[in-house]
Amino acid sequence: MVGKSERRRGVGGLHSLKLGESRSAGQRDTNIGSNVTPRNLISHEQVSESGFIPYSKILQSRPSSSIANRVRQAFKPKREVDSVIKKEVNSHVLSQDTKKFKNKGSRSRSRRSWIWNQFFVIEEYAGPEPVLIGRLHTDMDRNDGRTKYVLQGDGAGSVFVIDDKTGNIHVTKPLDREEKDEYRLIATATDKQTNRALEPSSEFIIRVQDINDNPPVFEAGPYSATVPEMANIGTSIIQVTATDADDPTYGNSARLVYTLVQGQQYFSVDPQTGILRTAVPDMDREAQDQYMVLLQAKDMGGHLGGLSGTTTVTVKLTDVNDNPPRFTQSMWSFSVSELAIPGAEIGRISATDADLGENARLDYTILEGETGDTFNITGVNQEAVITLNKAVDYESRSSYSFSVEVLNPIVDPRFLRRGPFKDRASIRVAVLDADEPPRFSRNRYHMDVSENCPPACTVGRVSAVDPDTGLTNNIRFSIDPQSDPEALFRITPDTGLITTAMILDREREHWHNITVIATQRDNPGQVSRVLVAIETLDLNDNAPELDRQYTTAMCDSSSIGQVSRKSLCIIDNDE
């Protein structure tokens, strides 16, 4: 059975299919599927890479002629290429042996035949009516209406239909290669009256020929990526990948080229791999921390007429330590009351660092100077707190001046050329005078007085001064009555002289602890207290005594002068 092809616009590679011819004795075909590269035949026509010669050159060839004769009739090549033609074409066609069929004793075949094993149809092609893609024909068909052509297999009867009288094969609807790229069918020529096969069935393939109908798609897009700021030119950021559903083995429909649509000033993309890289060395996160890049993938190798798809890449710059710390001002002034206790906050200073995280961590220190250990500094984020470490006295010193330093503990050596990653500022702390309470000359007093001393006997003197004025005449002294409930002592308010109010007995009480109060006359709220320990000194004012009453016994026969021995205990309350 030989198929005759007709050519219509939009359909390429129309072929005929010949069924049922047997091989001649001793001749062997090339195996089905052999991979023999096509060669040029003559200057004006070629065998295509699929291994077929356009049927327009061999249409209406006689069924009994060999394939070489058909090619020779079409092209009239020189005789020396005949053997080449046979080899090149035979390697891509389907051959099979046939048995002898007899139909009512009148039909038989024993001649050799070559079979085209595939047709082509362009995908998505749609015409006003079903499109003819090829024709089946058998030598047994005498055009007497007794031959019936039957088509079976993928899409037979729906996608592909055959005219059972002529053998013409039509495609009924547009085909999508990306959905299905080939159809395997079986053609059979039967006797219409008996339904017996006139020849063995032949299998052939209808391939859907690709057109560029699918744009590239970035299935993983949109993308997000990071790159360190100040990265070198050519630093790889991310690789984007687009896919094209068209046939990568046919033409350039799936050959993609990547380009930048937006972001060319800062980035570049490898046209073949889709790797996005930096194009400038000085992208500063502090100036702009994010970029939106628009990438395009275009098929047809990027040429005019190719389809394209786009995606975006959000590029975020990560921080590096490229900025030194800076104090927000070069000098700060604070004040502290002389009454402030250690730990009191003096003031806060601040520094800035445009970097982030660990790159913006700051350490603060007070430089050695005249302050000694009077103050402390503690950093909190980009702020530092200055606190009082020990008490200050306005009368001793009215102000302090010192310097503080801030620095980055982690430094990137690439950026040291920009200068030291530290800064200094000056601090002045004024000590404020306060209305202080009287100040005793001692923190504790120790005095003594003899026992049995008559009232008004002098014990000792306390003294205090007004620290604000240095005067002593505006101080009034008194004894806290709770510390001297028996009122054993008196104190002169103006002078601080302490005397006895009654006779003291050491044997009754050895020590007396009293509290003396100093009050500022012009400001009674300013009060100070001090402890005075008074010791009572002993005098020999107690005769010895037996510790108890003793008794003894003697015999009536004792002589005069005889001694009775007994131990006695005598005590003396004096020291």
Paired tokens of 430:
């004024």
pLDDT of 66 strictly over 50: no
DSSP 114-177: -B--EEEEETT---SSPEEEEEEEETT--SSS-EEEEEEETTBTTTEEE-TTT-EEEE-S---T
Whole-number Å distance between alpha carbons of 53 and 70: 10
Q: Lowest mean pLDDT: which of 75-84, 316-325, 426-435, 566-575?
A: 75-84
Whole-number Å distance between alpha carbons of 70 and 57: 8
The pLDDT mean for the chain works out to 78
Counting residues of the chain whose pLDDT is more than 90, the rounded percentage is 42
pLDDT band at 48 (very low <50, low <70, confident <90, very high): very low
Phi-psi label, residue 340: left if phi above 0, alpha if psi -120 to 50, beta otherwise: beta
Q: Lowest mean pLDDT: which of 106-110, 216-220, 565-569?
A: 106-110
Mean pLDDT on 399-428? 90
pLDDT tens per residue across span 350-380: 999 999 988 999 999 999 766 778 999 998 8
Residue 532, helix vs strand vs coil: strand
What per-residue confidence (pLDDT) applies to 40? 30
pLDDT tens per residue across span 179-224: 888 899 998 889 888 889 888 888 889 888 888 888 999 999 899 9
Please name each of the domains of the chain with its CATH number: 15-209 (2.60.40.60), 223-318 (2.60.40.60), 326-432 (2.60.40.60), 439-537 (2.60.40.60)
What per-residue confidence (pLDDT) applies to 85? 27
pLDDT of 110 strictly over 80: no
What per-residue confidence (pLDDT) applies to 31? 38
- In angstroms, what is the C-alpha Rg of the chain? 60
Whole-number Å distance between alpha carbons of 242 and 302: 13
Q: How many CA atoms lie within 13 A of 105 on its CB side?
A: 0
Phi-psi label, residue 494: left if phi above 0, alpha if psi -120 to 50, beta otherwise: alpha
What per-residue confidence (pLDDT) applies to 103? 39
pLDDT of 68 strictly over 80: no
Residue, of 319 and 212, whose pLDDT is higher: 319
Mean pLDDT on 15-30? 42
What per-residue confidence (pLDDT) applies to 273? 94
pLDDT of 172 strictly over 50: yes
Q: Lowest mean pLDDT: which of 10-14, 194-198, 224-228, 259-263?
A: 10-14
Answer yes or no: are the C-beta atoms of 422 and 407 closer than 8 Å: yes
Mean pLDDT on 168-182? 87
pLDDT tens per residue across span 140-162: 888 888 889 999 999 888 888 99
Strand order, beta sheet including 202-209: 118-122, 202-209, 182-191, 147-153
pLDDT band at 128 (very low <50, low <70, confident <90, very high): confident
Of 187, 167, 168, nearest in space to 115 by CA: 187
Answer yes or no: are the C-beta atoms of 18 and 55 closer than 8 Å: no
Q: Lowest mean pLDDT: which of 43-57, 98-112, 230-244, 309-323?
A: 43-57
Answer yes or no: are the C-beta atoms of 421 and 407 closer than 8 Å: yes
pLDDT tens per residue across span 535-544: 999 775 555 7
Cβ contacts of residue 573 below 8 Å, gap of 6+? Answer: 507, 542
pLDDT band at 17 (very low <50, low <70, confident <90, very high): low
Counting residues of the chain whose pLDDT is more than 70, the rounded percentage is 73
Q: Which residues pair with 79 in a beta bridge?
A: none
pLDDT of 43 strictly over 80: no
pLDDT of 166 strictly over 50: yes
